[in-house]
Structure 1
Amino acid sequence: MATVAEVFRELAAEGGTARVTVISNQGDGISSYIVGKVIYAPRRSSAPKGGEAPVFLRDHLSSDGTDGQASFSDRFVTVDVGNGVKEEQPFSIRATNSAAIAIAPEGNGQGSKTWLVNIRLPAPFNRTLDFKANVDGSTLVGTSPTAIGITEHVDTAVYVVSLKRN
């Protein structure tokens, strides 16, 4: 499997898209699963807007708007398992939210061991998560100082980010 840096280099050189997958787990037991596509985006040539996330101030990979889809372990769908028996399954595909994702290497370019991650969740969350993630094999692993949800009473969440070239 290609590393995040290898996928980054390929998209920068050749264009195209990569599938991004982000999973999270937070202290209240809620997990999320976000999937989307990212493209290479060069750093902005104009002066940044006030308060812009650091990830956008460098060459980065970004989903186009909010094309990612987020599923959550506390949203259930009822599944007919046969013989009149129904079970509830978490991560309901019928209850997803849109999400946007951007990642960029920090420090010494694409070989960096630390990457910047930006996850944007529009309404009803209206939450933006900016955090650093470390390279761990072919993935990025990081901790956000805030959780995803609207009413969580937890301070942090752990994220694993992976890329696969389309």
Structure 2
Amino acid sequence: MAMNLEQVLATAKDGSSVHITLVSNQNNGIASYADGSLIFHPQSGGTEFGGPPLRPAHMESASPMKMYFSDRRLSIDPVPAGGFAPTPRQPFNANATEALSVSVAMTASDHKTINVSIKVFGNTVKFTMDRIGDLYAGVGPSLSQSSGAVFVLAFTGVSQLQIIH
């Protein structure tokens, strides 16, 4: 179940893992899916004249997530006796993923817009996403031969850092 950003900010502490799901769809029918965790860092600076500049609360990947694509198919059907291998038909082949890094930065205090940066295929692209209910949606980069992609991000939970003494 998705959390809204206010719930994330009320729950997360510095170093917490914020779990997300990020999906995309393009006008050529290719969709993508990724889920994983971002490390939370609270707002800092900006409180003293001449002190460190204001840095809004932000979250970033500690390690890359796996991004799955609907056009990367896996053969799941047995080869008929004496026949040829059937055409692969299972989309989102788990053996053909791409590494995805994500960062999310808050913009305004009303949390209606967030700045998102994704790194996939070796390229980093920034775009904004707007709040729709408990989800964020925005037009981002094309992930194939398309004019762009619609991305949807859900915050799906927060895990606190466990300190063992």
How far, CA to CA, are the matches of 2:6 and 2:25 in structure 1?
24
Q: Give, in angstroms, the shift of residue 10 of structure 1.
A: 1.5
Partner of residue 72, structure 1:
69
Percent of aligned positions that are identical:
27
Partner of 1:162: 154
Deviation at 1:126, TM superposition (A): 1.8
Per-residue deviation at 1:43? Answer: 6.1
Distance across 1 between alignment mates of 2:91 and 2:72: 6
Residue of structure 2 equivalent to 1:50: none
- Mapped to 2, the partners of 1:112 and 1:18 lie a distance apart of 16
Structure 2 unaligned residues grouped into runs of 5+: 46-54, 160-165
Structure 1, unaligned runs of 5 or more: 46-56
Task: Quickly say closer, same or farther: Cα 1:17–1:104, change in 2 above 3 A.
Answer: same
* Residues in 1 aligned to 2:122 and 2:5: alpha-carbon distance in whole angstroms: 27
The aligned runs of 1:39-78 (5 Å cut-off) are 39-42=39-42, 58-66=56-64, 68-78=65-75
Equivalent pairs, count? 144
The reply on whether 1:147 has 2:148 as its aligned counterpart is no
* Structure 1 residues 164 and 69: alpha-carbon distance in aligned structure 2, compared to 1, 3 A threshold: same
Query: Do the aligned residues in 1 keep the contact of 2:18 with 2:40 (CA within 8 Å)?
Result: no
* RMSD, matched Cα: 2.5
Cα distance in 2 between the residues matched to 1:5 and 1:101: 20
Which residue of 1 is the match for residue 89 of structure 2? 88
Alpha-carbon displacement from aligned partner over 1:103-154 (angstroms, at most 9, x marks no partner): 122122xx32111111111xxx22222111111111101111x2123xx2x2
CA distance in 2: counterparts of 1:23 and 1:100, whole angstroms: 14
Q: Pick 1 or 2: higher relative contact order, CA cutoff 8 A, min separation 6.
A: 2
Task: State the partner residue of 2:115.
Answer: 116
Higher strand share: 1
More helix by proportion, 1 or 2? 1
Aligned residue for 2:76, secondary structure, equals: strand
- Code of the residue aligned with 2:130 in structure 1: it is N
